[in-house]
Every structure is written in structure tokens, then in C-alpha cells.
Amino acid sequence: MELGKHTVAVEEDFLRKSSMAQTPGHLCVTNNFSFFELNQVAKLLKVHWSEMDSEIKEEIPVHEEFILCCGVETQVLKCGPWTDLINNQSGTRPKLLIFIIPGNPGFSPLYVPFAKALYSTTKRRFPVWIISHAGHALAPRGKKVLKSSEDPNAEEIKDIYGLHGQVEHKLAFLRTQVPKEMKLVVIGHSIGSYFSLEILKHAPELPVIHSILLFPTIERISESPKGKFATPLLCWLRYALYVPCYLLLKPWPEKIKSLMTRMVLQMMDIPREFLCLNMLEPFCLVNAAYLGSQEMREVVKRDNETIKEHLPKLIFYYGTTDNWCPKEYYDDMKKDFPEGDIRLCEKKIPHAFIFDFFQEMADMVADWLKDDLSKM
């Protein structure tokens, strides 16, 4: 923030006259200035710091929307003032969209702090949108669900809640809700990284300039330390959990779920940008478990062909303490694609970075993108 010339001149004059002498723990000021000058500087500094504080606290707009995408209620959180890119024909329409695909469960509200931080660090020039996974979000009672125009070339999705159905779900959204000429930066987290690769594979016509894969679970998930534990739970034991899940959670009124969600998020010290009631919704939890079971069974072999074809667009970011995607997977990637942009975390950021390290990740992502974004 720039101060006016008069403000700077008064401040410099104040410092010159004060002949400040610093002593340990103290700042001694002689009174070579008048009371009027001191009072004037104090007022100007007060205004200056007030403006800086106001700028820091300026609220970043986040718009929540529920739309029918492929016939399924889908939560979309839109960071920035642009809520309708298709019908916005003004000269202020941005040239690029940053599109975030969550991990599993795909509760988009948990990614809002990261989205807001990324929106801010990219100088608020581009919208940052987060999409929920199909079946991982239900609109609250009384919330309007918007109808989405259907892609005329889209085929019927037989398993919308499964691994491949989720890819088609994201493609349908991008094809109907984002202008064809708008450039895309797709950020996938965890299994969202797998979906990001599948988007490149099945929709090469989309103008994706970068696909950033954060803590990417794109291979051998069931062989990872966490995967070895999760595989029997998700593939076989999940059926035993369905009945008690419905019996315990389904009867709860929405107010009780809201209270419980707030308590859980507060105990975990998780930012509550939007209340995530779906965390206690049996329908959503069952679909998350179902998707997880398919991840364990089907995400086995890395798609080297797609990676090779789109390598210049890809940025991989692996963790050093990630039990879903251990360091040996990073080593294998570096060995197989030595020319690729494949990074290893040096800050011990955990797999679930969205809770405590969203600002650090946003800063890094913005830095990776700054050269391309500066040309927009």
C-alpha cells in the first residue's frame, strides 16, 4: 500500500527531528518536534495502519451453489465475485479458472480455506472453484438446487458414485458450466489427482494449461501403509457399518447434526467456512466408503501413457510423511520421468494439508503458477 507524499514527508521529518537513540528494550526520543507535529504524525500513522488492517481483513467472497450435475446434487463453492462464467459476457470475465478436485471424502467446504488463500495469493485475479464428488453432498432443506444444462454428447453414467462415474461427473460439469475457451488450472488432491489425470486422458480438448497433483494417490493405493489397513475395512467390512450408520445418524434432526459438526470441527481446530453437515449424513458417508473401495481395487497401475503425453502440464507434489503415497512412489516417479516437474515436500506437510497447512500450500502453488498467470 502506498502512502501519500505528504504522509511520507511528515513521517521522515518526524524521524529526523526525533534523533532516536536505541537502548536495550527501549526507544528514547528527544523532543525536537512540536506537539502539533507529533499529533499530526500519530493521526496519519493511525489511518495508515487502520487501512492496512482493513485490507488484511477484507472478506473474500465465497458463493455456495447446489446444482444438478448428471442428475446428482453437487455442491460447488466459488471463490471470487464470478458466479456465472457461462453467461458473463462482460470484459471483466477472467481468462482462467482454478478448479479444485478434493480427495475422498469429497467434502468441498473443507477446502475453502485453501481456496481463499490461493485466490488471495494469485492477487484475486482468477476464480477458484471447488466441486464436491457425486453423492458426497446433499443440499440442506430449503436450499435451491439449480438445474444444469446437459451435455448433448454425454453418455449415460451407469455408476455415478464409483471411480469412473466421478470422472464423468467432473467432465460434465466442466463442459456445461465453464466456457470452452476458458483456460483451466486443475488441482487434484489425493484421489482428486487420479481424476485430474483422467480428465486429461478423456478430454484432451479442454484447455488445461496445468494439472497440479498434490499428494497424488494415482497408483498402488492398497499397497501403501494406510491402504493396507483401509482395504479390508472399505472392501469387505463397510457393509457391516451401513446399518448402524443409518440407525444412529439418520434420525438426527438437522439442528443436532449442525451442532455436532460444529463441535467436531472446533475440537479438531478446523476452520469452519461453510458448515459441512454431510460429514454426518449416512448417504454421503456410504458413497464415500463405496468410492474408497473402488480406489483400493482399481487404482493399482500408474497411467504412464497419460503422464508421458501431458508431462509438460503436470506438477507432482509428494509428501515425506504420507502413508497413502509413500516416498518410494516419489522415487519411482523421478526415476521413470526424470524430466518431469516432480517435487518432494521439504516442510513435512501431511497428506491432509487442508487443515493446518492450507496457506503454505497456497503460497507454493501460486509460486509455481506465477509465470503463466502473469501472461493472462
Residue 315 CB neighbour total at 10 angstroms: 19
C-alpha grid cell for residue 194? 487420479
What is the C-alpha separation between 367 and 364, in angstroms, rounded? 5
DSSP 124: T
Judge whether 183 and 211 are in contact, CB under 8 Å: no
Strand, helix or coil for residue 162: coil
Annotation says 149 is catalytic: no
190 is an active site residue: yes
Q: What's the count of helices (H) and strands (E) in the chain, helices before strands?
A: 12, 11
- DSSP, collapsed to helix, strand or coil, labels residue 152 as coil
322 noted as active-site residue: yes
Number of CB atoms found within 10 A of residue 272's CB: 14
What nine digits make up the cell of 240? 457391516
Q: Are strands 26-28 and 21-23 parallel, antiparallel or unpaired?
A: antiparallel
234 vs 28: CA distance, rounded Å? 67
Tell me how far apart the alpha carbons of residues 249 and 280 are, in angstroms, rounded to a whole number: 7
Active-site residue, from 18, 108, 120, 190: 190
| Nearest CA-CA partner of 181 in 93, 118, 120 | 93
Q: State the catalytic residues.
A: 190, 322, 351
